[in-house]
Amino acid sequence: AQSVAQPEDQVNVAEGNPLTVKCTYSVSGNPYLFWYVQYPNRGLQFLLKYITGDNLVKGSYGFEAEFNKSQTSFHLKKPSALVSDSALYFCAGPLSGGYNKLIFGAGTRLAVHP
Amino acid sequence: EAQVTQNPRYLITVTGKKLTVTCSQNMNHEYMSWYRQDPGLGLRQIYYSMNVEVTDKGDVPEGYKVSRKEKRNFPLILESPSPNQTSLYFCASSLRGGRVSSYEQYFGPGTRLTVT
């Protein structure tokens, strides 16, 4: 079955430290992968995407993600966390055979402490 | 300002009373979609629309209806709501359906629905 998994419900990190939010995938064909962020009481916002090419993808707000085909992972990273990065993060990927259906992970809550 | 709007933002209703949640986008997007968000389950797609008069089921369509009579609007209809439809609902849109670009979706602020 195709899936996108986020193994951690919550990630805690101190401000200024690097952060990683994990995502693994199981989709057939070429994996197109995405990260979205949800701030409190807001809708989801697109952060970045991997389509093809460089395995390190840069996105909004200083975030980047590393695509690793051998480990079937697409982890979200940031070198220095900010308190304002505290939010709910979703990894997503399409079901094969249809560009229109996105599978979302369950979400990971990132808490950055001062 | 480019945006997706939803109304109402909060709704408490009773079982069986028909309701409609409206969604409108001002970006001339062809593709629109409805999701529900439940704790521990992420977002699940309810219905989507590739363009006017073209709609299709997502992963959890049971108990919902949609229509797309105009490009900018994509209302979600619950004919007979039940408590298991208590959830946070999001409308989203993107420029084109059927292409990788369709995954860059713009989301509305959400509608929190409680069915008692």
Amino acid present at A15: E
Alpha carbon of A45: minimum distance to chain B alpha carbons (Å): 7
Report pLDDT for A39. Answer: 92
Cis peptide preceding A7, ω within 30 of 0:
no
- Between A3 and A18, the more confident residue is A18
DSSP B104: S
The three-state secondary structure class of A22 is coil
Alpha carbon of A29: minimum distance to chain B alpha carbons (Å): 14
Report pLDDT for A101. Answer: 72
Residue A62, pLDDT > 80, answer: yes
Q: Looking at the DSSP assignment, which residues form a beta bridge with residue A45?
A: A37
Closest partner residue to A100 (CB to CB) among B44, B48, B107 is: B48
A88-110 pLDDT, tens digit per residue, is 999 998 766 555 677 889 999 99
Report pLDDT for B70. Answer: 96
pLDDT band at B40 (very low <50, low <70, confident <90, very high): confident
Burial of B95 (0-12, 13-18, 19+ CB in 10 A): middle
pLDDT band at B52 (very low <50, low <70, confident <90, very high): very high
Average pLDDT for residues A77-93, to the nearest whole number? Answer: 95
CA distance A27 to B36: 22
Report pLDDT for A97. Answer: 58
Average pLDDT for residues A80-85, to the nearest whole number? Answer: 96
Amino acid present at A113: H
User: A84: phi > 0 → left, psi -120 to 50 → alpha, else beta; which?
Assistant: alpha
What residues of chain A lie within 8 A of the CB of B49, using their CB? none
Report pLDDT for A15. Answer: 97
Closest partner residue to A100 (CB to CB) among B97, B107, B110 is: B97
Beta strands B87-94 and B76-78, pairing class = unpaired
Q: Quick check: A50 contacting B, CB < 8 Å? A: no
B69-111 pLDDT, tens digit per residue, is 999 999 999 999 999 999 999 999 988 766 666 678 899 999 9
CA distance B28 to B2: 10
Chain B residues within 8 angstroms (CB to CB) of chain A: 4, 31, 33, 35, 40-45, 48, 50, 56, 58-59, 90, 92, 97-100, 102-110
Beta strands B42-51 and B31-38, pairing class = antiparallel
What residues of chain B lie within 8 A of the CB of A94, using their CB? 103
Least confident span in A1-5, A40-44, A53-57, B92-96: A1-5
First to last CA, chain A: 40
pLDDT band at B66 (very low <50, low <70, confident <90, very high): very high
Alpha carbon of B10: minimum distance to chain A alpha carbons (Å): 11
